[in-house]
């Protein structure tokens, strides 16, 4: 039957990887998962589709335009745009079946119909952890979260990264002491200082109607610099007579104290009064994580403390603290910046078994035995010239080829070739296992 051929392609704004990159991507994802699990977070999985009335209960917001929303029959369906709203729905729905503090991780795809631009994806993996309390949640949890970030990025192979920490109560209390009322706008403006610079921030603040004296104090405040202890001291010295400010400062001091207990090195975390995390959502501690040598990438892991996770679904007060790694975007950026291995392998196989003609049974036995010895082994079963078979191992970067031919069978041995060095020798099966391992 002759068919019309449709050109195979995917939608714009979606990431699809070739094998070598996919293997790398999965390694990064496995490392994140392993670290989340090490700290006792449990896995969660929720449907990609939710009832629109439930998912969008909070309504409004900039993201609403981006949501994939459609009808199937008379059901109004939306695809999740983050993992936090589904978490809020899950915890409210299953409240009586859960134990608190509820520590969960969720690594899954979310969907946003963003404007199509380089490095922005409409389908992307988020890797979230959250600790949810029932009614209240100790501030010390806010110090454990950075230790998870530290452990994760360390295992991902990074040395030079900084977890930036702030507390929204300090900002809020400080603004309150200056009678600044449009805190949200001011926070959003301050948040941009790295992108647009001090002068533009001043200009925007004035435009927001902040008195010049107050603007000067705000700028002075966000320019407080130094070691973590210096900054805490400077904040103390400001002598701001505001209860929220004092509460925030006490929380931040505790968080810094306990982060040290969690063995996060001093070089890897830093109080930074300029970060606020644009979202209205956060109410206390906030985090951003910067790769020191690649500041342009922006924050690779962000999050914070919120007072009330699920006010749209339950009257239970559920405070929490969490972070998210936007894995798809991070992977794209690491690749663009050539941080990822260039010479990546397109295989998980450690050995390719090539049986010579009429030796297939013995080739299969060899592969069976390699697998029994914990070696990822693949068989080349197709007909063809031996060069083509070696070429397959070469292209995929399979490190070892194991040849099984009549001579090998007679001698009860195998021939092993190290594809990197080109060295080839006939050895016993046990020796071959040792070499591959």
Q: Quick check: 92 binds a second copy (CB under 8 A)?
A: yes
Q: Quick check: 361 binds a second copy (CB under 8 A)?
A: yes
Judged by CB under 8 A, which stretch of 43-51, 197-205, 212-220, 294-302 contacts a second copy? 43-51
Q: Quick check: 3 binds a second copy (CB under 8 A)?
A: yes
Q: Which residues of 333-352 are buried (b: 16+ CB within 10 A; e: fewer)?
A: bbbeeeebeeeeeebebbbb
Closer residue to a second copy (CB): 97 or 199: 97
Closer residue to a second copy (CB): 310 or 330: 310
**What is the sign of the dihedral through the CA atoms of 242, 247, 248 and 252?**
positive
Q: How many CB atoms lie within 10 A of CB 115?
A: 8
Closer residue to a second copy (CB): 97 or 237: 97
Residues 211-230 that bind a second copy (CB under 8 A): none
Contacting residues for 375 by C-beta, under 8 A, at least 6 apart:
350, 351, 433, 436, 437
Considering only 74, 97, 237, 357, the residue that binds a second copy (CB under 8 A) is 97
CA distance 237 to 362: 79
Closer residue to a second copy (CB): 52 or 234: 52
Q: Quick check: 371 binds a second copy (CB under 8 A)?
A: yes
> In angstroms, what CA-CA distances link 205 with 58, 167, 200?
29, 21, 8
Judged by CB under 8 A, which stretch of 104-112, 157-165, 199-207, 297-305 contacts a second copy? 104-112
Structure tokens at 101: 């503090």
Q: Quick check: 420 binds a second copy (CB under 8 A)?
A: no
Residues 178-197 that bind a second copy (CB under 8 A): none
Give least dist CB 94 to a second copy, A.
6
Residues 397-416 that bind a second copy (CB under 8 A): none
Closer residue to a second copy (CB): 14 or 227: 14
Q: Quick check: 283 binds a second copy (CB under 8 A)?
A: no
CA distance 412 to 417: 17
Considering only 231, 256, 379, 409, the residue that binds a second copy (CB under 8 A) is 379
Give least dist CB 297 to a second copy, A.
22
- Angle (nearest 5°) at CA 89 between 45 and 71: 85
Q: Quick check: 43 binds a second copy (CB under 8 A)?
A: yes
CA distance 122 to 112: 5
Structure tokens at 82: 């983050």
Q: Quick check: 112 binds a second copy (CB under 8 A)?
A: no
Considering only 208, 214, 339, 364, the residue that binds a second copy (CB under 8 A) is 364
Q: Quick check: 14 binds a second copy (CB under 8 A)?
A: yes
Considering only 392, 401, 419, 429, the residue that binds a second copy (CB under 8 A) is 392
Considering only 63, 82, 101, 183, the residue that binds a second copy (CB under 8 A) is 101
> In angstroms, what CA-CA distances link 27 with 125, 154, 340, 349, 398?
14, 14, 11, 15, 17
**If you search the block for the tokens 């079963």, which residue do you land on?**
381
Considering only 32, 80, 104, 415, the residue that binds a second copy (CB under 8 A) is 104
Residues 145-184 that bind a second copy (CB under 8 A): 147, 151
Tell me the sheet residues that pair with 164. 270, 288
Closer residue to a second copy (CB): 103 or 417: 103
Q: Quick check: 294 binds a second copy (CB under 8 A)?
A: no
Total number of residues binding a second copy (CB under 8 A)? 100
CA distance 52 to 75: 9
CA nearest to 123, candidates 332, 308, 387, 268: 332
Residue 332 and residue 124 in contact, taking contact as beta carbons nearer than 8 Å: no
Q: Quick check: 18 binds a second copy (CB under 8 A)?
A: yes
- Transcribe 349-410 into DSSP letters: -SEEEEEPTT-HHHHHHHHHHHHHTT--EEE--S-S-HHHHHHHHHHHT-SEEEEE-HHHHH
Closer residue to a second copy (CB): 111 or 245: 111
Contacting residues for 61 by C-beta, under 8 A, at least 6 apart:
none
> In angstroms, what CA-CA distances link 197 with 121, 200, 300?
27, 6, 21
Q: Quick check: 381 binds a second copy (CB under 8 A)?
A: yes
Q: Quick check: 347 binds a second copy (CB under 8 A)?
A: yes
Give least dist CB 391 to a second copy, A.
9
């Amino acid at each position: 039957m002759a068919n019309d051929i449709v050109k195979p392609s995917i939608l714009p704004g979606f990431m699809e990887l070739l094998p070598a990159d996919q293997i790398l991507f999965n390694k990064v994802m496995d490392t994140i998962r392993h670290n989340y699990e090490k700290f006792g977070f449990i896995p969660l999985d929720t449907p990609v589709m939710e009832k629109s009335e439930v998912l969008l209960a909070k309504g409004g917001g900039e993201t609403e335009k981006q949501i994939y929303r459609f009808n199937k029959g008379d059901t109004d369906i939306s695809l999740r745009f983050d993992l936090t709203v589904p978490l809020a729905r899950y915890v409210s729905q299953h409240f009586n079946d859960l134990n608190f503090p509820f520590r969960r991780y969720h690594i899954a795809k979310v969907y946003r119909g963003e404007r199509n631009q380089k490095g922005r994806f409409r389908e992307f993996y988020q890797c979230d952890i959250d600790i949810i309390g029932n009614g209240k949640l100790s501030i010390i949890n806010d110090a454990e979260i950075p230790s998870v970030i530290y452990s994760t990025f360390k295992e991902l192979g990074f040395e030079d990264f900084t977890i930036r920490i702030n507390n929204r109560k300090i900002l809020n209390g400080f603004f309150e002491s200056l009678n600044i009322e449009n805190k949200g706008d001011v926070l959003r403006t301050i948040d941009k200082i790295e992108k647009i610079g001090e002068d533009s921030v001043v200009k925007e603040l004035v435009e927001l109607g902040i008195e010049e004296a107050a603007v000067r104090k705000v700028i002075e405040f966000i320019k407080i610099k130094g070691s973590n202890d210096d900054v805490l001291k400077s904040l103390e010295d400001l002598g701001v007579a505001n209860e929220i400010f004092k509460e925030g400062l006490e929380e931040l001091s505790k968080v810094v104290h306990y982060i040290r207990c969690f063995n996060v090195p001093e070089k890897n975390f830093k109080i930074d009064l300029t970060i606020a995390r644009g979202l209205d959502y956060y109410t206390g501690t906030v985090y951003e994580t910067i790769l020191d040598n690649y500041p342009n990438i922006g924050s690779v892991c962000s999050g914070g403390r919120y007072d009330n996770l699920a006010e749209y679904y339950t009257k239970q007060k559920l405070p929490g603290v969490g972070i998210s790694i936007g894995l798809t975007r991070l992977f794209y950026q690491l690749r663009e910046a050539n941080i990822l291995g260039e010479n990546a392998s397109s295989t998980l196989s450690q050995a390719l078994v090539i049986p010579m003609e009429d030796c297939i049974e013995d080739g299969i036995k060899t592969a069976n035995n390699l697998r029994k010895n914990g070696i990822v082994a693949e068989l080349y079963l197709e007909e063809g010239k031996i060069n083509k078979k070696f070429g397959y191992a070469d292209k995929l970067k399979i490190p070892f080829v194991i040849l099984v031919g009549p001579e090998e069978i007679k001698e009860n041995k195998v021939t092993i070739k190290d594809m990197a060095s080109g060295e080839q020798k006939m050895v016993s099966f046990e020796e071959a296992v040792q070499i591959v391992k």
